[in-house]
């Protein structure tokens, strides 16, 4: 969803999560990253708001659509603001604990990986996503 801002510029509004779970092997935190074939990048699950949808609802919906996982939102994380094709974009994020579900490849996302935070931070394609992992680690006790 987009909305006009001061000066008539339209900001693209989106929401996402740092989706996490505890490893069945050792109980340590793992973070989900999605691979988007259209951009050939690794990122956090996120997407645009639908008309009338709030940021938190969009974060839960987009996380489920992209990863197949249902989640419970936790701490609010810093928003990310950047330009996409000359238009401003704002993405609001939350930590989100995965509670159940399973991934099925789709048109938007062909792979999901679960990685320890340091490996997830390294695998992320965009530098702007790395501080979100840091903020997640500060907000959630690993």
Tens digit of pLDDT for each residue in 17-70? 999 999 999 999 999 999 999 999 999 999 999 999 999 999 999 999 999 999
SS3 state at 139? helix
Average pLDDT, the chain: 94
Q: Is the pLDDT confidence value at 73 over 90?
A: yes
pTM of the complete model: 0.92
Which of the four pLDDT bands, split at 50, 70 and 90, describes residue 9? confident
Count other C-beta atoms under 10 Å from residue 103's C-beta: 17
Contacts of 96 (CB under 8 A, 6+ apart): 17, 18, 19, 20, 59, 60, 63, 71, 72, 73, 74
């Amino acid at each position: 969803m987009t909305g006009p801002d001061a000066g008539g510029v339209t900001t693209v509004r989106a929401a996402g999560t740092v989706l996490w779970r505890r490893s069945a092997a050792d109980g340590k935190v793992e973070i989900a990253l999605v691979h988007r074939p259209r951009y050939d990048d690794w990122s956090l699950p996120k997407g645009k708001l639908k008309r009338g949808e709030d940021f938190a609802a969009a974060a839960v919906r987009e996380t489920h659509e992209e990863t197949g996982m249902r989640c419970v939102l936790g701490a609010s994380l810093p928003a990310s603001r950047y330009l996409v094709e000359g238009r401003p974009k704002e993405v609001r994020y939350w930590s989100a604990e995965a509670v159940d579900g399973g991934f099925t490849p789709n048109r938007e996302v062909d792979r999901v990986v679960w990685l320890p935070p340091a490996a997830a931070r390294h695998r992320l394609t965009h530098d702007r996503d790395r501080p979100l992992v840091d903020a997640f680690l500060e907000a959630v006790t690993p």
